[in-house]
Amino acid sequence: MVADGYRSVVGPTGRGLTADIVTYSHAEPTGAGSAAGRARGASTNGSGITRPTSLEPAFALEGPGEYEVHDVLVTGVRTFRDEVKGAERGSNVAFVYELDGLHAVHLGDIGHLLTQDMLGEIGTVEVVCVPIASALTAARAAELVAQLDPRLVVPMPVGENAEAKAELDRFIHEMGTQGAVPQPKLAVTHGSLPHETTLVLLESKGRT
């Protein structure tokens, strides 16, 4: 499973990243799905999103709905990238993945708090992946996490510049989890879930 594996993030080849399923929460970042890129034969899956070559064989999900793919239940919930129902930055899809009884939500590039209807569609989740340094302030991101009341929180910094790092630090402060140490990967089972909401920092793989 890969979420938001855009060419602008993982490169045109995907650097060997593979998956059976790939989900895309919003439109291709500006310039990444250019006509020049499509002319080279990259797959767009009919949506304008140009996938890196290593993810072309994956089953792609890009819209709201309920899906079962390779024994994984996936629910796409319509959200937005701003506070005005997408009028400024467009729409977004939050994807909930259910596997072996665990529920994780990747919020994509969400830019607002969730309505009661959205919360009902997402349901109970144990793991939340939340964007940092995009449309949401650190305080709003922490409010969003509180709405979902997960056991594990994985912040996703948007960008690797000083501003993104500062916003991540502010989010960590808002969550009351100073001193969190980045780790290379996260493996989760029901038995390993913490009893209280816990923030997990993952090491950035960087770009090549």
Residue range 80-98, pLDDT digits in tens: 999 999 999 999 999 999 9
User: What burial letters (b/e) apply to 89-122, b meaning 16+ CB within 10 Å?
Assistant: bebbbbbbbeeeebbbbbbbbbbbebeeebeebb
* Tokens representing residue 192 in the block: 């390993």
11-61, pLDDT tens digit by residue? 999 999 999 999 999 998 764 333 333 333 344 444 578 899 999 999 999
Whether the Cβ atoms of residue 111 and residue 152 lie closer than 8 Å to each other:
no
Q: pLDDT at position 31, please?
A: 47
* Tokens representing residue 49 in the block: 């999103």
Per domain, the residue ranges of the chain are: 1-62, 70-208
CATH topology of domain 70-208: Metallo-beta-lactamase; Chain A (3.60.15)
Selection from 144, 127, 128 nearest residue 136 by Cα: 144
First-to-final CA distance of the chain: 22
Angle at which helices 162-175 and 138-148 cross, to 10°: 40
131-149, pLDDT tens digit by residue? 999 999 999 999 999 999 9
Report d(CA 20, CA 36) in Å as an integer: 27
- 28 compared with 64, residue with greater pLDDT: 64
Which three-class secondary structure state does DSSP give residue 53? helix
* Tokens representing residue 161 in the block: 């510049």
Selection from 199, 28, 46 nearest residue 109 by Cα: 28
Query: The whole model's pTM is what?
Result: 0.90
Q: Beta strands of the chain (E only): which ranges?
A: 2-3, 21-23, 59-61, 65-69, 72-80, 91-99, 102-106, 127-132, 152-157, 198-199
Spatial CB neighbours of 158, under 8 Å, sequence gap ≥ 6 = 109, 131, 132, 133, 134, 164
